[in-house]
Amino acid sequence: MATTGELIKADAMEEKGERARMASFIGAMAIADLVKSTLGPKGMDKILQSTGRGHSVTVTNDGATILKSLHVDNPAAKVLVDISKVQDDEVGDGTTSVVVLAGELLREAEKLVALKIHPMTIIAGYRMAAEAARSALEAAVRDNRDDFEKFRSDLVNIAMTTLSSKILSQDKVHFANLAVDAVLRLKGSSNMEAIQIIKKCGGALKDSFLDEGFILDKKIGVGQPKRIENAKILVANTAMDTDKVKIYGARVRVDSMSKVADIEAAEKIKMRNKVDKIIGHGINCFVNRQLIYNYPEELFADAGIMAIEHADFDGIERLALVTGGEITSTFNDPENVKLGHCKLIEEIMIGEDKLIHFSGVAMGRACTIVLRGASSHVLDEAERSLHDALCVLVQTVQDSRVIWGGGWPEFLMSRRVEELGRKTPGKKSLAIDAFATALRAIPTIIADNAGLDSADLVSQLRAAHSADGCRSGIDIISGKVGDMEKLGIYEAFKVKQAVLMSATEASEMILRVDEIIKCAPRQREDRM
Protein backbone atom coordinates (compact mmCIF):
# COMPACT_ATOMS: atom_id res chain seq x y z
CA MET A 1 0.00 0.00 0.00
CA ALA A 2 1.41 3.42 -0.96
CA THR A 3 2.26 5.84 1.86
CA THR A 4 1.71 9.60 1.60
CA GLY A 5 5.47 10.05 1.29
CA GLU A 6 5.41 8.05 -1.96
CA LEU A 7 2.40 9.95 -3.30
CA ILE A 8 3.71 13.48 -3.05
CA LYS A 9 6.58 14.94 -5.10
CA ALA A 10 10.17 14.36 -4.11
CA ASP A 11 10.98 17.84 -2.71
CA ALA A 12 7.61 18.39 -1.00
CA MET A 13 7.80 18.58 2.80
CA GLU A 14 5.39 16.93 5.16
CA GLU A 15 5.06 17.29 8.93
CA LYS A 16 2.57 15.22 10.87
CA GLY A 17 0.90 15.05 14.28
CA GLU A 18 2.95 16.41 17.16
CA ARG A 19 5.58 18.05 14.94
CA ALA A 20 2.99 19.84 12.82
CA ARG A 21 1.24 21.12 15.93
CA MET A 22 4.53 22.27 17.48
CA ALA A 23 5.50 24.12 14.27
CA SER A 24 2.12 25.90 14.28
CA PHE A 25 2.32 26.85 17.98
CA ILE A 26 5.90 28.08 17.76
CA GLY A 27 5.24 30.18 14.63
CA ALA A 28 2.14 31.82 16.10
CA MET A 29 3.79 32.52 19.47
CA ALA A 30 6.87 34.00 17.78
CA ILE A 31 4.64 36.48 15.88
CA ALA A 32 2.81 37.38 19.11
CA ASP A 33 6.14 37.89 20.95
CA LEU A 34 7.37 40.10 18.12
CA VAL A 35 4.55 42.64 18.44
CA LYS A 36 3.79 42.40 22.17
CA SER A 37 6.45 44.99 23.07
CA THR A 38 4.37 47.59 21.14
CA LEU A 39 1.28 47.04 23.34
CA GLY A 40 -0.04 49.73 25.67
CA PRO A 41 0.78 53.40 26.37
CA LYS A 42 4.45 52.63 27.03
CA GLY A 43 4.85 50.27 24.05
CA MET A 44 7.93 50.79 21.89
CA ASP A 45 8.14 51.38 18.12
CA LYS A 46 9.77 49.22 15.45
CA ILE A 47 11.83 50.36 12.46
CA LEU A 48 11.00 48.45 9.28
CA GLN A 49 13.43 48.72 6.39
CA SER A 50 12.33 47.49 2.99
CA THR A 51 14.60 45.51 0.68
CA GLY A 52 13.31 47.40 -2.37
CA ARG A 53 15.02 50.23 -4.16
CA GLY A 54 15.84 53.13 -1.87
CA HIS A 55 15.51 50.92 1.26
CA SER A 56 12.58 52.96 2.51
CA VAL A 57 12.23 53.14 6.30
CA THR A 58 8.98 52.98 8.29
CA VAL A 59 8.87 53.74 12.01
CA THR A 60 5.67 52.39 13.57
CA ASN A 61 4.05 50.66 16.52
CA ASP A 62 0.87 49.75 14.68
CA GLY A 63 0.56 45.94 14.82
CA ALA A 64 -1.08 45.60 11.40
CA THR A 65 1.57 47.74 9.67
CA ILE A 66 4.42 45.75 11.27
CA LEU A 67 2.94 42.35 10.37
CA LYS A 68 1.93 43.43 6.86
CA SER A 69 5.57 44.29 6.14
CA LEU A 70 6.92 40.90 7.24
CA HIS A 71 7.55 38.06 4.83
CA VAL A 72 6.50 35.15 7.00
CA ASP A 73 7.17 31.54 6.03
CA ASN A 74 5.30 29.79 8.84
CA PRO A 75 1.70 28.98 7.82
CA ALA A 76 0.26 29.49 11.34
CA ALA A 77 2.01 32.85 11.63
CA LYS A 78 0.30 33.89 8.38
CA VAL A 79 -3.09 33.25 10.01
CA LEU A 80 -2.20 35.76 12.76
CA VAL A 81 -0.94 38.31 10.23
CA ASP A 82 -4.28 37.92 8.48
CA ILE A 83 -6.45 38.48 11.59
CA SER A 84 -4.47 41.59 12.41
CA LYS A 85 -5.10 42.93 8.88
CA VAL A 86 -8.83 42.15 9.13
CA GLN A 87 -8.99 43.85 12.55
CA ASP A 88 -7.38 46.94 11.00
CA ASP A 89 -9.88 47.00 8.12
CA GLU A 90 -12.88 46.21 10.31
CA VAL A 91 -12.47 48.48 13.36
CA GLY A 92 -9.09 50.20 12.95
CA ASP A 93 -7.68 49.57 16.43
CA GLY A 94 -6.75 46.53 18.53
CA THR A 95 -4.45 45.10 15.83
CA THR A 96 -1.70 44.25 18.34
CA SER A 97 -4.09 43.03 21.06
CA VAL A 98 -5.75 40.51 18.73
CA VAL A 99 -2.41 38.91 17.80
CA VAL A 100 -1.15 38.88 21.40
CA LEU A 101 -4.39 37.33 22.69
CA ALA A 102 -4.34 34.63 19.98
CA GLY A 103 -0.67 33.92 20.83
CA GLU A 104 -1.47 33.60 24.55
CA LEU A 105 -4.45 31.30 23.86
CA LEU A 106 -2.12 29.02 21.87
CA ARG A 107 0.55 29.20 24.61
CA GLU A 108 -2.03 27.91 27.11
CA ALA A 109 -3.35 25.32 24.62
CA GLU A 110 0.19 23.97 24.17
CA LYS A 111 0.36 23.17 27.91
CA LEU A 112 -3.02 21.39 27.71
CA VAL A 113 -1.98 19.37 24.65
CA ALA A 114 1.12 18.29 26.62
CA LEU A 115 -1.28 16.95 29.29
CA LYS A 116 -2.79 14.70 26.58
CA ILE A 117 -6.04 16.70 26.27
CA HIS A 118 -7.53 16.43 22.78
CA PRO A 119 -7.50 19.68 20.70
CA MET A 120 -11.26 19.34 20.08
CA THR A 121 -11.90 19.37 23.85
CA ILE A 122 -9.77 22.53 24.15
CA ILE A 123 -11.68 24.14 21.27
CA ALA A 124 -15.04 23.31 22.89
CA GLY A 125 -13.84 24.87 26.16
CA TYR A 126 -12.55 27.97 24.36
CA ARG A 127 -15.90 28.35 22.56
CA MET A 128 -17.82 28.29 25.86
CA ALA A 129 -15.33 30.67 27.49
CA ALA A 130 -15.45 33.17 24.59
CA GLU A 131 -19.25 33.27 24.74
CA ALA A 132 -19.20 33.79 28.53
CA ALA A 133 -16.60 36.57 28.14
CA ARG A 134 -18.62 38.30 25.42
CA SER A 135 -21.86 38.24 27.41
CA ALA A 136 -20.00 39.58 30.49
CA LEU A 137 -18.70 42.48 28.39
CA GLU A 138 -22.12 43.11 26.88
CA ALA A 139 -23.73 43.25 30.33
CA ALA A 140 -21.24 45.89 31.48
CA VAL A 141 -21.44 48.39 28.59
CA ARG A 142 -22.61 52.01 28.90
CA ASP A 143 -24.50 53.89 26.20
CA ASN A 144 -24.82 57.69 26.18
CA ARG A 145 -26.20 58.11 22.66
CA ASP A 146 -29.20 60.14 23.87
CA ASP A 147 -27.14 62.75 25.76
CA PHE A 148 -24.99 64.56 23.16
CA GLU A 149 -22.59 66.20 25.66
CA LYS A 150 -21.87 62.91 27.44
CA PHE A 151 -21.58 61.05 24.13
CA ARG A 152 -19.06 63.61 22.83
CA SER A 153 -16.96 63.29 25.98
CA ASP A 154 -17.11 59.48 25.61
CA LEU A 155 -15.85 59.85 22.03
CA VAL A 156 -13.01 62.17 23.13
CA ASN A 157 -12.01 59.69 25.86
CA ILE A 158 -12.04 56.77 23.40
CA ALA A 159 -9.91 58.77 20.93
CA MET A 160 -7.45 59.68 23.72
CA THR A 161 -7.18 56.02 24.80
CA THR A 162 -6.53 54.95 21.19
CA LEU A 163 -3.93 57.70 20.66
CA SER A 164 -2.18 57.19 24.01
CA SER A 165 -0.21 54.22 22.65
CA LYS A 166 0.81 56.05 19.47
CA ILE A 167 3.19 58.82 18.43
CA LEU A 168 0.47 61.43 19.03
CA SER A 169 0.24 60.58 22.77
CA GLN A 170 1.93 63.85 23.86
CA ASP A 171 -0.75 65.98 22.13
CA LYS A 172 -3.56 63.47 22.51
CA VAL A 173 -6.13 66.01 23.80
CA HIS A 174 -5.60 68.21 20.71
CA PHE A 175 -5.76 65.29 18.26
CA ALA A 176 -8.67 63.56 20.04
CA ASN A 177 -10.74 66.74 19.64
CA LEU A 178 -9.65 67.07 15.98
CA ALA A 179 -10.72 63.48 15.28
CA VAL A 180 -14.05 63.80 17.15
CA ASP A 181 -14.94 67.07 15.35
CA ALA A 182 -14.13 65.46 11.97
CA VAL A 183 -16.23 62.35 12.70
CA LEU A 184 -19.20 64.28 14.10
CA ARG A 185 -19.29 66.32 10.88
CA LEU A 186 -20.10 63.05 9.06
CA LYS A 187 -23.47 63.07 10.93
CA GLY A 188 -23.58 59.30 11.42
CA SER A 189 -22.30 58.38 7.95
CA SER A 190 -19.44 55.87 7.75
CA ASN A 191 -17.96 57.39 4.58
CA MET A 192 -14.37 58.11 5.62
CA GLU A 193 -13.65 59.45 2.10
CA ALA A 194 -15.10 62.80 3.20
CA ILE A 195 -12.26 63.23 5.73
CA GLN A 196 -9.07 64.11 3.90
CA ILE A 197 -5.66 64.01 5.59
CA ILE A 198 -2.89 66.20 4.11
CA LYS A 199 0.70 65.86 5.37
CA LYS A 200 3.04 68.86 5.23
CA CYS A 201 6.56 68.73 6.64
CA GLY A 202 7.56 71.59 8.93
CA GLY A 203 6.23 72.93 12.21
CA ALA A 204 5.40 70.68 15.16
CA LEU A 205 2.71 67.99 15.50
CA LYS A 206 0.62 70.32 17.67
CA ASP A 207 0.40 72.82 14.78
CA SER A 208 -1.91 70.36 12.96
CA PHE A 209 -5.45 71.67 12.41
CA LEU A 210 -8.89 70.76 11.09
CA ASP A 211 -10.28 72.78 8.19
CA GLU A 212 -13.87 72.60 6.96
CA GLY A 213 -13.98 72.07 3.22
CA PHE A 214 -11.45 70.55 0.87
CA ILE A 215 -7.80 71.33 0.18
CA LEU A 216 -6.16 70.34 -3.11
CA ASP A 217 -2.38 70.10 -3.12
CA LYS A 218 -1.89 72.01 -6.41
CA LYS A 219 -1.09 75.51 -7.67
CA ILE A 220 -3.38 77.74 -9.74
CA GLY A 221 -2.28 78.36 -13.39
CA VAL A 222 -0.50 81.55 -14.51
CA GLY A 223 -2.59 84.71 -15.10
CA GLN A 224 -5.78 83.12 -13.77
CA PRO A 225 -8.08 84.40 -11.01
CA LYS A 226 -6.71 83.44 -7.59
CA ARG A 227 -10.07 83.69 -5.84
CA ILE A 228 -13.56 82.70 -7.06
CA GLU A 229 -16.83 83.04 -5.18
CA ASN A 230 -19.89 80.81 -5.87
CA ALA A 231 -17.77 78.52 -7.99
CA LYS A 232 -19.17 76.11 -10.56
CA ILE A 233 -16.58 73.38 -10.96
CA LEU A 234 -16.13 70.97 -13.85
CA VAL A 235 -14.04 68.00 -12.73
CA ALA A 236 -12.55 66.24 -15.77
CA ASN A 237 -10.16 63.53 -16.84
CA THR A 238 -9.30 64.47 -20.41
CA ALA A 239 -6.23 65.17 -22.58
CA MET A 240 -5.60 68.93 -22.83
CA ASP A 241 -2.17 68.66 -24.46
CA THR A 242 -3.05 68.03 -28.14
CA ASP A 243 -2.05 71.42 -29.48
CA LYS A 244 1.36 69.98 -30.44
CA VAL A 245 1.86 67.49 -33.27
CA LYS A 246 1.79 64.10 -31.59
CA ILE A 247 1.51 61.34 -34.13
CA TYR A 248 3.14 58.21 -32.75
CA GLY A 249 4.10 55.30 -35.01
CA ALA A 250 3.08 57.14 -38.17
CA ARG A 251 5.11 59.09 -40.72
CA VAL A 252 3.90 62.28 -42.27
CA ARG A 253 5.68 63.33 -45.45
CA VAL A 254 5.37 66.98 -46.34
CA ASP A 255 7.02 68.94 -49.13
CA SER A 256 7.29 72.23 -47.25
CA MET A 257 7.37 73.68 -43.76
CA SER A 258 4.09 75.47 -44.40
CA LYS A 259 2.34 72.06 -44.45
CA VAL A 260 3.70 71.34 -40.95
CA ALA A 261 2.35 74.72 -39.89
CA ASP A 262 -1.06 73.74 -41.35
CA ILE A 263 -1.08 70.51 -39.30
CA GLU A 264 -0.22 72.48 -36.15
CA ALA A 265 -2.93 75.04 -36.93
CA ALA A 266 -5.47 72.23 -37.38
CA GLU A 267 -4.44 70.79 -33.99
CA LYS A 268 -4.86 74.26 -32.44
CA ILE A 269 -8.33 74.69 -33.90
CA LYS A 270 -9.29 71.26 -32.51
CA MET A 271 -8.01 72.33 -29.09
CA ARG A 272 -9.82 75.68 -29.28
CA ASN A 273 -13.11 73.93 -30.12
CA LYS A 274 -12.64 71.63 -27.14
CA VAL A 275 -11.96 74.58 -24.81
CA ASP A 276 -15.02 76.41 -26.18
CA LYS A 277 -17.16 73.35 -25.42
CA ILE A 278 -15.80 73.27 -21.86
CA ILE A 279 -16.44 77.01 -21.38
CA GLY A 280 -19.95 76.44 -22.78
CA HIS A 281 -20.82 74.53 -19.58
CA GLY A 282 -21.04 77.91 -17.81
CA ILE A 283 -18.25 77.11 -15.36
CA ASN A 284 -15.69 79.31 -13.64
CA CYS A 285 -13.32 76.56 -12.43
CA PHE A 286 -11.90 73.63 -14.44
CA VAL A 287 -10.01 70.85 -12.62
CA ASN A 288 -8.27 68.28 -14.80
CA ARG A 289 -6.60 64.99 -13.93
CA GLN A 290 -4.15 65.38 -16.86
CA LEU A 291 -1.83 68.13 -18.05
CA ILE A 292 -3.16 71.38 -19.50
CA TYR A 293 -0.73 72.83 -22.06
CA ASN A 294 0.09 76.52 -22.45
CA TYR A 295 -2.37 77.27 -25.24
CA PRO A 296 -5.55 75.94 -23.56
CA GLU A 297 -4.35 77.47 -20.27
CA GLU A 298 -4.09 80.83 -22.03
CA LEU A 299 -7.63 80.40 -23.44
CA PHE A 300 -9.01 79.61 -19.96
CA ALA A 301 -7.20 82.65 -18.49
CA ASP A 302 -8.74 84.90 -21.21
CA ALA A 303 -12.19 83.55 -20.33
CA GLY A 304 -11.55 84.28 -16.61
CA ILE A 305 -11.72 80.57 -15.69
CA MET A 306 -9.46 79.06 -13.04
CA ALA A 307 -7.78 75.96 -14.55
CA ILE A 308 -6.07 73.44 -12.29
CA GLU A 309 -3.99 70.74 -13.96
CA HIS A 310 -2.57 67.37 -12.93
CA ALA A 311 -4.70 66.95 -9.81
CA ASP A 312 -3.88 63.44 -8.52
CA PHE A 313 -6.56 60.82 -9.05
CA ASP A 314 -7.33 60.41 -5.36
CA GLY A 315 -7.63 64.21 -5.17
CA ILE A 316 -10.14 64.61 -8.03
CA GLU A 317 -12.23 61.62 -6.96
CA ARG A 318 -12.59 63.12 -3.51
CA LEU A 319 -13.15 66.62 -4.94
CA ALA A 320 -15.97 65.31 -7.17
CA LEU A 321 -17.47 63.55 -4.12
CA VAL A 322 -17.43 66.56 -1.79
CA THR A 323 -18.51 69.21 -4.34
CA GLY A 324 -21.32 67.00 -5.65
CA GLY A 325 -19.96 66.83 -9.22
CA GLU A 326 -18.99 63.95 -11.49
CA ILE A 327 -15.74 63.25 -13.32
CA THR A 328 -16.33 63.98 -17.02
CA SER A 329 -14.38 62.98 -20.13
CA THR A 330 -16.58 64.20 -23.01
CA PHE A 331 -18.16 67.63 -23.35
CA ASN A 332 -20.78 67.31 -26.10
CA ASP A 333 -23.77 67.15 -23.78
CA PRO A 334 -23.60 70.01 -21.21
CA GLU A 335 -27.15 69.38 -19.89
CA ASN A 336 -26.28 65.95 -18.53
CA VAL A 337 -22.97 66.92 -16.92
CA LYS A 338 -23.15 67.24 -13.14
CA LEU A 339 -21.10 70.26 -12.03
CA GLY A 340 -19.59 70.65 -8.57
CA HIS A 341 -20.44 73.69 -6.45
CA CYS A 342 -18.74 75.52 -3.60
CA LYS A 343 -18.97 78.99 -2.08
CA LEU A 344 -15.32 80.04 -2.31
CA ILE A 345 -12.08 78.87 -3.95
CA GLU A 346 -8.88 80.60 -2.88
CA GLU A 347 -5.14 80.00 -2.66
CA ILE A 348 -3.73 79.43 0.83
CA MET A 349 -0.24 78.90 2.23
CA ILE A 350 0.67 76.06 4.56
CA GLY A 351 4.32 76.34 5.57
CA GLU A 352 6.20 77.03 2.34
CA ASP A 353 3.61 75.50 -0.01
CA LYS A 354 0.68 77.02 -1.86
CA LEU A 355 -2.51 74.97 -1.92
CA ILE A 356 -6.06 75.51 -3.22
CA HIS A 357 -8.81 75.68 -0.64
CA PHE A 358 -12.45 74.89 -1.51
CA SER A 359 -14.78 76.08 1.26
CA GLY A 360 -18.57 75.85 1.59
CA VAL A 361 -18.66 72.64 -0.45
CA ALA A 362 -21.96 70.96 -1.39
CA MET A 363 -21.28 68.02 0.91
CA GLY A 364 -21.27 69.85 4.24
CA ARG A 365 -19.73 66.83 5.97
CA ALA A 366 -16.38 67.16 4.21
CA CYS A 367 -13.33 68.37 6.08
CA THR A 368 -9.56 68.24 5.82
CA ILE A 369 -7.07 67.51 8.60
CA VAL A 370 -3.68 69.11 7.91
CA LEU A 371 -0.86 67.33 9.74
CA ARG A 372 2.40 69.15 10.42
CA GLY A 373 5.53 67.45 11.68
CA ALA A 374 9.32 67.33 11.68
CA SER A 375 9.84 64.70 8.99
CA SER A 376 8.01 62.45 6.56
CA HIS A 377 8.45 59.44 8.91
CA VAL A 378 6.80 61.29 11.78
CA LEU A 379 3.97 62.40 9.47
CA ASP A 380 3.38 58.88 8.11
CA GLU A 381 3.12 57.44 11.63
CA ALA A 382 0.91 60.37 12.74
CA GLU A 383 -1.40 59.66 9.79
CA ARG A 384 -1.61 55.95 10.70
CA SER A 385 -2.38 56.84 14.35
CA LEU A 386 -5.03 59.38 13.41
CA HIS A 387 -6.57 56.97 10.90
CA ASP A 388 -6.90 54.34 13.68
CA ALA A 389 -8.62 56.88 15.93
CA LEU A 390 -10.99 58.01 13.14
CA CYS A 391 -11.94 54.38 12.32
CA VAL A 392 -12.71 53.61 15.98
CA LEU A 393 -14.78 56.80 16.32
CA VAL A 394 -16.77 56.07 13.15
CA GLN A 395 -17.54 52.58 14.53
CA THR A 396 -18.51 54.05 17.93
CA VAL A 397 -20.87 56.58 16.36
CA GLN A 398 -22.67 53.65 14.73
CA ASP A 399 -22.51 51.33 17.77
CA SER A 400 -22.37 53.72 20.72
CA ARG A 401 -21.68 51.15 23.45
CA VAL A 402 -18.64 52.05 25.53
CA ILE A 403 -16.61 50.16 28.14
CA TRP A 404 -13.71 51.14 30.41
CA GLY A 405 -10.15 50.34 29.33
CA GLY A 406 -6.77 49.81 31.00
CA GLY A 407 -7.12 46.06 31.57
CA TRP A 408 -10.61 46.40 33.14
CA PRO A 409 -12.43 44.40 30.40
CA GLU A 410 -9.89 41.55 30.52
CA PHE A 411 -10.30 41.12 34.29
CA LEU A 412 -14.08 41.38 34.09
CA MET A 413 -14.11 38.69 31.37
CA SER A 414 -11.60 36.41 33.11
CA ARG A 415 -13.65 36.53 36.34
CA ARG A 416 -16.80 35.42 34.48
CA VAL A 417 -14.86 32.75 32.58
CA GLU A 418 -13.38 31.36 35.83
CA GLU A 419 -16.88 31.19 37.35
CA LEU A 420 -17.99 29.19 34.31
CA GLY A 421 -14.94 26.90 34.68
CA ARG A 422 -15.90 26.08 38.28
CA LYS A 423 -19.40 25.02 37.16
CA THR A 424 -18.27 22.98 34.14
CA PRO A 425 -17.49 19.30 34.68
CA GLY A 426 -14.85 17.34 32.76
CA LYS A 427 -11.68 18.31 30.90
CA LYS A 428 -13.36 21.33 29.26
CA SER A 429 -13.00 23.19 32.56
CA LEU A 430 -9.19 23.09 32.15
CA ALA A 431 -9.52 24.79 28.75
CA ILE A 432 -11.91 27.38 30.24
CA ASP A 433 -9.40 28.18 33.02
CA ALA A 434 -6.64 28.44 30.40
CA PHE A 435 -8.78 30.99 28.49
CA ALA A 436 -9.08 33.11 31.66
CA THR A 437 -5.28 32.98 32.14
CA ALA A 438 -4.73 34.07 28.50
CA LEU A 439 -7.10 37.05 28.97
CA ARG A 440 -5.13 38.21 32.01
CA ALA A 441 -1.92 38.11 29.95
CA ILE A 442 -2.84 41.34 28.11
CA PRO A 443 -2.85 43.61 31.23
CA THR A 444 0.31 41.76 32.37
CA ILE A 445 2.10 42.65 29.12
CA ILE A 446 0.86 46.29 29.28
CA ALA A 447 2.32 46.56 32.81
CA ASP A 448 5.58 44.82 31.80
CA ASN A 449 6.04 47.19 28.85
CA ALA A 450 5.75 50.13 31.25
CA GLY A 451 8.43 48.61 33.49
CA LEU A 452 5.98 48.02 36.36
CA ASP A 453 5.77 45.01 38.68
CA SER A 454 3.14 43.13 36.69
CA ALA A 455 2.73 40.22 39.15
CA ASP A 456 1.86 42.59 42.01
CA LEU A 457 -0.47 44.79 39.90
CA VAL A 458 -2.30 41.84 38.36
CA SER A 459 -2.90 40.15 41.73
CA GLN A 460 -4.18 43.48 43.19
CA LEU A 461 -6.53 43.91 40.22
CA ARG A 462 -7.75 40.35 40.49
CA ALA A 463 -8.63 40.92 44.14
CA ALA A 464 -10.34 44.24 43.32
CA HIS A 465 -12.43 42.58 40.61
CA SER A 466 -13.82 39.98 43.00
CA ALA A 467 -16.35 42.68 44.03
CA ASP A 468 -19.26 43.55 41.70
CA GLY A 469 -19.31 46.98 40.01
CA CYS A 470 -15.54 47.37 40.25
CA ARG A 471 -14.01 49.99 37.91
CA SER A 472 -10.33 49.27 38.58
CA GLY A 473 -7.69 49.02 35.88
CA ILE A 474 -3.98 49.72 35.50
CA ASP A 475 -2.99 53.39 35.77
CA ILE A 476 0.26 53.32 33.77
CA ILE A 477 1.22 56.91 34.70
CA SER A 478 1.20 56.44 38.48
CA GLY A 479 2.06 52.72 38.25
CA LYS A 480 -0.82 51.73 40.53
CA VAL A 481 -4.36 50.40 40.31
CA GLY A 482 -6.69 53.28 39.38
CA ASP A 483 -10.37 54.06 38.79
CA MET A 484 -10.89 53.95 35.00
CA GLU A 485 -13.90 56.29 35.06
CA LYS A 486 -12.04 59.06 36.92
CA LEU A 487 -9.00 58.65 34.67
CA GLY A 488 -11.23 58.79 31.56
CA ILE A 489 -9.80 55.59 30.05
CA TYR A 490 -12.60 54.35 27.78
CA GLU A 491 -12.69 51.87 24.92
CA ALA A 492 -15.22 51.03 22.22
CA PHE A 493 -17.17 47.82 22.91
CA LYS A 494 -17.02 46.91 19.22
CA VAL A 495 -13.20 46.90 19.20
CA LYS A 496 -12.93 44.66 22.28
CA GLN A 497 -15.57 42.28 20.95
CA ALA A 498 -13.75 42.01 17.61
CA VAL A 499 -10.43 41.31 19.39
CA LEU A 500 -12.01 38.57 21.54
CA MET A 501 -13.86 36.78 18.74
CA SER A 502 -11.10 37.02 16.09
CA ALA A 503 -8.37 35.80 18.47
CA THR A 504 -10.51 32.85 19.62
CA GLU A 505 -11.38 31.81 16.08
CA ALA A 506 -7.77 32.10 14.87
CA SER A 507 -6.41 30.03 17.77
CA GLU A 508 -9.12 27.41 17.12
CA MET A 509 -8.10 27.20 13.50
CA ILE A 510 -4.42 26.66 14.36
CA LEU A 511 -5.34 24.11 17.07
CA ARG A 512 -7.18 21.96 14.52
CA VAL A 513 -4.02 21.42 12.46
CA ASP A 514 -2.41 17.97 12.57
CA GLU A 515 -0.48 17.96 9.31
CA ILE A 516 1.44 20.54 7.26
CA ILE A 517 2.28 19.75 3.63
CA LYS A 518 4.53 22.16 1.75
CA CYS A 519 4.46 21.81 -2.02
CA ALA A 520 7.66 21.05 -3.90
CA PRO A 521 9.24 24.21 -5.29
CA ARG A 522 8.88 24.62 -9.04
CA GLN A 523 12.00 23.41 -10.80
CA ARG A 524 13.70 25.83 -13.14
CA GLU A 525 14.39 24.32 -16.51
CA ASP A 526 18.02 24.26 -17.54
CA ARG A 527 18.25 26.44 -20.59
CA MET A 528 21.88 25.62 -21.30
Q: Which are the catalytic amino acids?
A: 62, 95-96, 388
Amino acid sitting at position 185: R
| SS3 of residue 331 by DSSP | coil
Q: Which of 470, 523, 449, 509 has its CA nearest to residue 120?
A: 509
Sign of CA dihedral 37, 39, 40, 43: positive
Alpha-carbon distance of 448 to 459, in angstroms, equals 14
For residue 400, which phi and psi values (nearest 5 degrees)? -85, 15
Alpha-carbon distance of 107 to 500, in angstroms, equals 16
Q: Which of 400, 320, 410, 300 has its CA nearest to residue 361?
A: 320
| SS3 of residue 328 by DSSP | strand
Give whole-number Cα distances, 298 to 180, 274, 431, in Å: 44, 14, 76
**Most distant CA pair in the chain, distance:** 101
Sign of CA dihedral 130, 450, 169, 387: negative
Q: Please state, as a whole number, how many other Cβ atoms lie within 10 Å of the Cβ of residue 173.
A: 13
Q: Give the H or E element holding residue 143.
A: strand 142-143
Sequence-distant (≥ 6) Cβ neighbours of residue 170 within 8 angstroms? 205
Alpha-carbon distance of 291 to 311, in angstroms, equals 9
Q: Please state, as a whole number, how many other Cβ atoms lie within 10 Å of the Cβ of residue 266.
A: 11
Give whole-number Cα distances, 78 to 72, 111, 121, in Å: 6, 22, 24
Contact 326, 336 (CB under 8 A): no
For residue 189, which phi and psi values (nearest 5 degrees)? -80, 155
Burial class (CB in 10 A: 0-12, 13-18, 19+), 201: middle
Beta strand spans in 406-493 (E):
472-475, 480-483, 490-492
| SS3 of residue 525 by DSSP | coil
Q: For the chain, what's the residue count?
A: 528
Alpha-carbon distance of 121 to 436, in angstroms, equals 16
Q: Give the H or E element holding residue 333.
A: none
Alpha-carbon distance of 21 to 26, in angstroms, equals 9
